[in-house]
Amino acid sequence: MITAIAHQAPQNNVSLFVGRYINIMMLFFPITTFLLVPSIPGTTIITMLAAMLFVFVLFLPAGQNKMRFFNELLLFTAVILILSFCSQFINLVNGLKLDSDLVLINRKDYTRTFYRTSHITQTLSLIVGFVIYAYVKYFSNPSILKYVYWGLRLLCFYALYELAFYMLTGSSGDFMVNRTFGYEEKSASLFQTVNIAGINLMRIKGYTGEPSMFVFTVFPFWVLSFSLKRSFDNMLMLTCLVLTFSTTAYLCIILFLTYWIIYNRHFITLYYLCVAVVGMCFVLQLDQFQHLLDSLYNFVFAGKLEGESVSSRDRGNHFTGHLIYWANLNWLSQLFGIGFGYIRSTDFFSTLLVNNGLIGFILFSWFVLRNLLLNINGRIIEICYKLGLVLLYLIMMATVPEFAYPSFWIYIALGFVLSRAAQQAKTLTEDAITSDKARLLKIHE
């Protein structure tokens, strides 16, 4: 139904070209560790394609969508500039002091507090992400979904290749990464392994950089795939999510599947699933399998939930430290923050609160969660999209402070694409009913 509507909607040649161009962009959106120009940060494939498309949209006639695109982009830029001016003016007047415990993006410089370099570079990354969001929102139709999932397939295939390469050779097979982060120029691709019952496995990451980033990129689209009847993509992404050995992935999978089973009233499935879990637990208690259970549980759950793992302690310390720092700021800085892009914690909640204050947190949350009010064609599609959106928001706030990943902006924009499909379906139905009524009147006459 969705695909059919996409073909029925009239489009001029320029809009058709832009839509197809955006579809091609979707094949590359998960690639974040490869730069076309390694010496220039941010020159990922999708960023460069988006920059070239901007020139076409700027100079070619693209109808009413072009006007809406630039209106929203100008509004967004205005909000960013106002927040930037307010935070920097407050810093200047009140003499902001940066704590050495803060996780600054530019850790070499603790003395500069007025318009730090990271404030400018991170703001540019934010604007690029918004441009990609606006492209999808105003120029795409539901046919984009096919290309989005092909992009995710390529990501999963590459991730599985890396896993197979490691198991065969014992070393990383990542041949794409050429990006570095931070003042120490660390590789953007984090190579992590886990030992399960004496078997060394590589935690899947693909070309997203880290297992947590892989979960952030893939998970909401995995949830949406349930409603789109994409069985192959669903199983492929689920397999890769499991192989990330990410606590976040496992908890979100359990939460979603529990809701999904209860919503669809698959109580027999739930019964057999419980029996299978009990049986598996019994088998894993046997001496031959005890080590497998212990190593998997300790790595995925116990170390993280009990605060024993290094990453868990770091997250807790950073979260607490940044909240304390924010609480000790003056009330104006608490409202507007110290400046976007100043710090980067291990969660987006404390990152946003310190950088942009309460106002920034409220604006960002509204921007993301307003899609919960969208009317999307098909009850199941609407439920899956909105569940994916809520879980994406929670993952971001709790574990992944990454606002610049294209997947985040694309998923938000897809809500408007699906909603527009619902409006077009309603219009087509009303037109068909009107046409039938007119035909019947002529017959009676």
Euclidean distance between CA atoms 265 and 273, whole angstroms: 14
Q: Which residues of 228-250 are buried (b: 16+ CB within 10 A; e: fewer)?
A: bebeebbebbbebbebbbbbbbb
Locate 79 and state its tokens.
Answer: 């909000």
Encoded amino acid at 48, one letter: M
Quick check: 119 and 84 in contact, CB under 8 A?
yes
| Distances from the Cα of 285 to the Cα of 218, 242, 250, 299, 305, angstroms | 33, 21, 21, 17, 22
User: H-type helices in 328-402, by residue range?
Assistant: 331-336, 348-369, 379-398
Euclidean distance between CA atoms 367 and 83, whole angstroms: 15
Quick check: 220 and 144 in contact, CB under 8 A?
no
Euclidean distance between CA atoms 309 and 295, whole angstroms: 13
Measured in residues, the chain has a length of 445
Locate 199 and state its tokens.
Answer: 């078997």
Euclidean distance between CA atoms 368 and 371, whole angstroms: 6
The pLDDT tens digits along the chain (445 residues) read 454 444 444 446 778 889 999 999 999 999 998 899 888 888 899 999 999 999 988 888 877 888 999 999 999 999 999 999 999 999 888 888 887 778 888 766 666 667 788 888 899 999 999 999 999 999 999 999 999 999 999 999 999 999 999 999 988 888 888 887 655 566 777 788 887 766 788 899 999 988 999 999 999 999 999 999 899 999 999 999 999 988 889 899 989 988 888 887 766 766 666 666 666 566 555 555 555 555 555 555 555 555 555 566 667 788 888 888 899 889 998 999 998 888 888 889 999 999 999 999 999 999 999 999 998 888 899 999 999 999 999 999 988 888 889 999 999 999 999 988 766 655 545 444 555 455 545 555 5
